[in-house]
C-alpha cells in the first residue's frame, strides 16, 4: 500500500496488492459502510471525475481502479501507447475525495499469465457495433470487470454512458451471473461544443478537433427527427453517414437500436439509443444519445 498525502494529511490510500485492499474493505463493510467502485484505465478527465462524484453521492466509500487492461486491446491496437498519467490521476482523485485506489500491475491481475487466464464471455451484444470493429474487446472488458467486482465486492459500480454498449454488456453480464451489485450509468460528459470527453481526443489533429463534434450534432438531428415521428431509421442512418463522410471522417457505424439489447430498432420500440463510431486519422471516436419516440 502507498499512502498518498497532501500537506501532511493522509487523503488516499493506493493499493497494488489485491489481498491488502480486500482486508481494508472488509473492515469498512463490517462497519456497515456502502462501497462504490469506479473502474478506469487512467488518463483521467472530467468524465471520469463525474463518475467519482456520482459514486460519492451513492456510497460511503469510493474505490477507483486504474489498470490499463491488455486483455481488451486488439491486434491492431497499441496497448503500450495508451496514455499513462498516474501522478496527475492521483491528484485528480484526491481533489474529488476518492478514498482508495487500486493500481495493480499485470502480474497481480493475471497471476497465471494472459494465455492461461479464465475468460468471461457474454454471448450477446458483443459481436456487433464496437464488437464487430474490435474482435475480442468485450471479452477483455467483461473478464477484467468481473475480476474487479470480485476484488472490491462493492454495493454499486458506476460506469459512464459514453460507451453505451459496454454499459449494456456489463449490465447483462451482472444479471446473467447473479452479481449482487447495482450497475449505475452516469451521463455522458461533454466539452463546450458537445464533443464527448475521451482520452482519445488528444490524438485528434487541430483540424479534426474543430469539427469532431459533428458526430454528436448529426445524432442530435436524427434524434429530433425520430422524436417528431420519423420511423425510417435506415434512411436517417444513411443520410447521417453521408454527412459524416463528407466531413472527411470515416464512418464505422451509425445505428438506431433498442437501448437494452442493442438490436436494430423497430417502429414499435420506445426506448431507443443512437450509437455512432467514426475514425479520424489517428483515433476512433464513439458517442450515443437516447431518444424516446412519440
pLDDT digits (tens, 9 = 90+) for 84-125: 999 999 999 999 999 999 999 999 999 999 999 999 999 999
Total number of domains in the chain:
2
Residue 41 lies in a domain: yes
- Which of 163, 186, 209 is at the close of a domain? 186
Please answer whether residues 278 and 250 qualify as being in contact, where contact means their C-beta atoms are separated by less than 8 angstroms.
Answer: yes
Domain with 253 in it: 199-291
Residue in the block written with cell 502507498: 2
Active-site residue, 48 included: yes
Q: Are 152 and 20 members of one domain? A: yes
Residue 191 lies in a domain: no
Q: Are 182 and 220 members of one domain? A: no
Give the global pTM: 0.95
Task: Please name the residues in contact with 248: beta carbons below 8 A apart, sequence gap of 6 or more.
Answer: none
Residue 128, phi-psi category: left (phi > 0), alpha (psi -120 to 50), beta (remainder) = beta
Residue in the block written with cell 470527453: 197
Catalytic one of 48, 103, 137, 258:
48
Q: Are 141 and 277 members of one domain? A: no
Q: What is the dihedral of CA 91, 25, 149, 43, to 10 degrees?
A: 10
Residue 50 lies in a domain: yes
How much is the pLDDT for 216?
98
Q: Are 101 and 228 members of one domain? A: no
Residue 192 lies in a domain: no
How much is the pLDDT for 74?
85
Q: How many CA atoms lie within 13 A of 39 on its CB side?
A: 27
What CATH number should be reported for the domain holding residue 206? 3.30.1300.10
- Which of 160, 186, 212 is at the close of a domain? 186
What CATH number should be reported for the domain holding residue 94? 3.40.50.620
Q: Are 208 and 64 members of one domain? A: no
User: b or e along 27-45 (b: 16 or more beta carbons within 10 Å of the residue's beta carbon)?
Assistant: ebbeeeeebbbbbbbbbbb
Q: How confident is the model at residue 3 (pLDDT cuts 50, 70, 90)?
A: low
Residue 7 predicted with pLDDT over 80: no
How much is the pLDDT for 4?
58
Q: Are 48 and 107 members of one domain? A: yes
Q: Are 155 and 216 members of one domain? A: no
- Closest of 291, 288, 293 to residue 268, by C-alpha: 293
Residue 10 predicted with pLDDT over 60: no
The grid cell for 188 is 455522458
pLDDT in tens, 40-77: 999 999 999 999 999 999 999 999 999 999 999 987 78
Residue 194 lies in a domain: no
Angle at 202 between CA 104 and CA 11, to 5 degrees: 40
- Which of 138, 157, 186 is at the close of a domain? 186
Q: How confident is the model at residue 5 (pLDDT cuts 50, 70, 90)?
A: low
Residue 242 lies in a domain: yes
Q: Are 42 and 177 members of one domain? A: yes
- What's the CA gap between 207 and 212, in Å, rounded? 9
How much is the pLDDT for 208?
98
Q: Are 15 and 55 members of one domain? A: yes
Residue 225 predicted with pLDDT over 60: yes
Residue 193 lies in a domain: no
Q: Are 17 and 161 members of one domain? A: yes
Q: Are 47 and 157 members of one domain? A: yes
Residue 228 lies in a domain: yes
Q: Are 121 and 94 members of one domain? A: yes
Amino acid at each position: 500500500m502507498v499512502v498518498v498525502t497532501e500537506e501532511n494529511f493522509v487523503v488516499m490510500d493506493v493499493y497494488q496488492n489485491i489481498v491488502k485492499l480486500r482486508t481494508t474493505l472488509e473492515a469498512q463493510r463490517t462497519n456497515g459502510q456502502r462501497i462504490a467502485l469506479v473502474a478506469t484505465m487512467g488518463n483521467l478527465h472530467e468524465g471520469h471525475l463525474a463518475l467519482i462524484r456520482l459514486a460519492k453521492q451513492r456510497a460511503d466509500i469510493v474505490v477507483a481502479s486504474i489498470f490499463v487492461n491488455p486483455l481488451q486491446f486488439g491486434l491492431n491496437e497499441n496497448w503500450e501507447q495508451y496514455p499513462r498519467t498516474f501522478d496527475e490521476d492521483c491528484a485528480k482523485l484526491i481533489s474529488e475525495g476518492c478514498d482508495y485506489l487500486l493500481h495493480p500491475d499485470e502480474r497481480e491481475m493475471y497471476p497465471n499469465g494472459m494465455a492461461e487466464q479464465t475468460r468471461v464471455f457474454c454471448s450477446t451484444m458483443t459481436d456487433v457495433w464496437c464488437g464487430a470493429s474490435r474482435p475480442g474487446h468485450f471479452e477483455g472488458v467483461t473478464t477484467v470487470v468481473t475480476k474487479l467486482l470480485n476484488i472490491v465486492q462493492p454495493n454499486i459500480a458506476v460506469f459512464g454512458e459514453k460507451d453505451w454498449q459496454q454499459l449494456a454488456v456489463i449490465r447483462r453480464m451482472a444479471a446473467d451471473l447473479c452479481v449482487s451489485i447495482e450497475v449505475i450509468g452516469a451521463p455522458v460528459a461533454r466539452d463546450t461544443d458537445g464533443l464527448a470527453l475521451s482520452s482519445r481526443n488528444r490524438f485528434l489533429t487541430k483540424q479534426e478537433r474543430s469539427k469532431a463534434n459533428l458526430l454528436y450534432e448529426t445524432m442530435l438531428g436524427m434524434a429530433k427527427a425520430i422524436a417528431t415521428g420519423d420511423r425510417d431509421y435506415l434512411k436517417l442512418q444513411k443520410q447521417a453517414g453521408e454527412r459524416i463522410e463528407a466531413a472527411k471522417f470515416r464512418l464505422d457505424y451509425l445505428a438506431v437500436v433498442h437501448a437494452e439489447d442493442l438490436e436494430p430498432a423497430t417502429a414499435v420500440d420506445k426506448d431507443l439509443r443512437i450509437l455512432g463510431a467514426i475514425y479520424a486519422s489517428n483515433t476512433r471516436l464513439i458517442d450515443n444519445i437516447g431518444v424516446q419516440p412519440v
